[in-house]
Amino acid sequence: MRAPLATLAFATLAFATVALAACSDATAAPASAAGPTFRLSAGPLPCNAGWDARSNGNKCAQRDFLVVAYPPTSADPKMSVTRYNGDHAGAPPAWTRRLDMAGDPVTVLAAKSAIVATVGKDTVELAALDAADGKVLARRSVPSAGAARVLLEAPRDSARAGTYLHVLAADGRGWTVTIDPATLALSAPRDIPARAIRTAMDRTAMPADGAAKAGAFEAGWDDADLVVRRAGGWTTVVIADERFRLQHVTLHAGNGRVYLTTHHAIASGAVAYAFDATTGKELWRRHLTGIGPVAHSKYYNKLSSFLDGDILVVQGVEAAGNYICTVSAADGAELACVDHLPASAVFDPPPAKVDTSPLPPEQPIGPTVSKQACVKSSAPRTSFAAVPGTGTTTGKRPKPITWIEGTLVFPSASCKPKLGGGIAGERVTLEVYDLSDRPGAPVCECTFEYRTATNKDSKVVSARVRGGVEIGKLDLRP
């Protein structure tokens, strides 16, 4: 194993480390073709740290039990590893294993193993224990000149491959290697230069916006398409037919290429692209690891980026955390991602200035009323008529659309009814709301002339009074 490459020394944590159990269904972003991404957390990781289980001296969750590695003390020179059958230290213990390992441990659960790592003098010491009974499965001493800090990473989903050891050297260089959870066999080592491992955001980076320019190139929304183009030359569609238009962009030009980032303003994640500056051909795209997929409802996602020679640096500030990822400008290989930066190291990009408001739907979601009339009546009638119609949208890409239109007549107690409804599976519904779920005796006869959208699955249209009886039903099938 070569000595690790990586510019900042980190103090190791002198506390017991914990591997706890919980779950996540999210899947990882595509791995770099050049090998696993070097990952580092600049601050303590919380329990349940996203879509993977990682440990840098913290708790990490998986399943329904806890494995704690206690460092040696002056009173006890050996490390003690205990499994607790519960979600906290102090729950009923299942087993305890004492190990001849010095230093402050980190531990993670991977497949059926609990892996423990410590930093020694120019080595990283590893132990794999059977998570069920604590039996020592394997021990390994890995030469690691200048090692200052380690991070273990394992997928929460045992069906996904990839358990990794990430080592940061005191001079800022790093390396990452794949670990077999049972045997601790190592494979696919990868050195990462220090300039690719960023632990503080650059405040001069380009903030993402609804549109961006870089010399003769620009990116932004063209109707419902997100495009990148060269002035007076080529245009390449990056995202087609996205009427919500919630993607923001950054853009850089260099090395005969154009580099673009896109991210969703209210969802996690980001994507980086490279295009040939002469032809506009897409050369590569990379879904960034970032902080990993996040389950959320209300959310924000802000991004900035810059080009540093042959490295594209992407800085993300999300509701669930922050990160800096670096990507090889040559081939799109993700080099390193550092997350959980301290507040002093974070650049919070300003709000977007370019308006990218969503476009209106290609046709109204519910019924539209072209004419409405109510007249007093002591014997109001009820009738329902509908005829199908077809046409095309009027946007940049005309699309076929279908609808029904007709007349709906019904008794009303309020004489001020409203018409709603829409598509629900195979059914198209027209629902009259008479300003009450329990309308009184009708005193008016009201007429709606309406039009409402249908789709290829629509088979039946029905009209009813909310809280009352069905007015009519029509079969839309030929």
**Coil vs helix vs strand at 344:** helix
- Measure the CA angle with vertex 423, ends 396 and 434; round to 5°: 120
118 alpha carbon, distance to own chain's centre: 31
Quote the percentage of the chain above a pLDDT of 70: 87
pLDDT classification of 158: cutoffs 50, 70, 90 = low
| Secondary structure E strands in 162-234 | 164-169, 174-179, 186-192, 206-207, 212-214, 217-222, 225-230
Least confident of 233-247, 250-264, 285-299, 373-387: 285-299
Q: For 339-358, what is the mean pLDDT?
A: 94
User: Helix, strand, or coil here: 194?
Assistant: helix
Report the side by side order of strands in the sheet with 225-230. Answer: 212-214, 217-222, 225-230, 235-239
| Both structure tokens of 160 | 């996904």
User: Which amino acid is residue 93, in one-letter code?
Assistant: P
Confidence of residue 403 (pLDDT cuts 50, 70, 90): very high
Whether residue 294 has pLDDT greater than 80 = no
Mean pLDDT calculated for residue range 419-429: 93
CB 223, CB 207: distance < 8 Å: no
- Domains in the chain (CATH in brackets) are 17-196 (2.40.128.630), 206-345 (2.40.10.480), 368-475 (no CATH)
Instruction: Indicate if the pLDDT at residue 430 is higher than 60.
Output: yes
pLDDT at 95: 94
List of residues 6+ apart from 307 with CB closer than 8 A = 252, 254, 259, 313, 329
- Of 386, 438, 436, which Cα lies nearest the Cα of 416? 436
Give the pLDDT of residue 49. 42
**C-alpha pair distances (Å), 150 with each of 2, 10, 15, 102, 184:** 16, 10, 14, 14, 15
Give the pLDDT band (50/70/90) at residue 398: confident
Residue 354 has pLDDT above 60, yes or no: yes
Nearest-angstrom CA–CA distance, 84 and 462: 59
In 3D, which of 110, 145, 107, 109 has the Cα closest to residue 126? 107
The CA-based angle 266-268-273, given to 5 degrees, is: 105
**Greatest CA separation found in the chain?**
97
Q: Which amino acid is at 351?
A: P
Q: Which pLDDT does position 380 carry in this prediction? A: 93
Query: Residue 66 has what pLDDT?
Result: 83
Taking a C-beta distance cutoff of 8 angstroms, is the pair 21, 63 a contact?
A: yes
**Residue 36 to residue 189: CA distance in whole angstroms:** 9
* 136 has a pLDDT exceeding 70: yes
Q: Which of 196-200, 284-288, 308-312, 360-364 has the least mean pLDDT?
A: 360-364
Q: Which uninterrupted H or E stretch holds 447?
A: strand 444-454
The C-alpha atoms of residue 110 and residue 163 are separated, in whole angstroms, by: 7
Specify the 3-state DSSP secondary structure of 196.
helix
Number of alpha helices (DSSP H) and beta strands (DSSP E) in the chain: 0, 36
Residue 394 has pLDDT above 50, yes or no: yes
Residues of the chain by 3-state class (helix, strand, coil), percent to 5: 0, 50, 50
In percent, how much of the chain has pLDDT > 90? 66
Mean pLDDT, residues 250-268? 96
Q: Which residues contact 378 (CB under 8 A, 6 or more apart)?
A: none
How far is the C-alpha of 378 from the C-alpha of 461, rounded, in Å?
29
Model confidence over 64-118: pLDDT tens digits? 788 888 889 999 999 999 998 887 778 899 999 999 999 888 888 888 899 999 9
C-beta separation of 263 from 248 below 8 A: yes
pLDDT attached to residue 25: 29
Strand partners, 238: none
Instruction: Name the one residue in this structure whose structure tokens are 């303003």.
Output: 265
Q: Is the per-residue pLDDT at 53 higher than 70? A: no
> CB within 8 A of 299, min separation 6: which ones?
266, 267, 268, 318, 319, 320
Q: How confident is the model at residue 389 (pLDDT cuts 50, 70, 90)?
A: very high
Residue 104: half-sphere exposure toward Cβ, Cα within 13 Å: 16
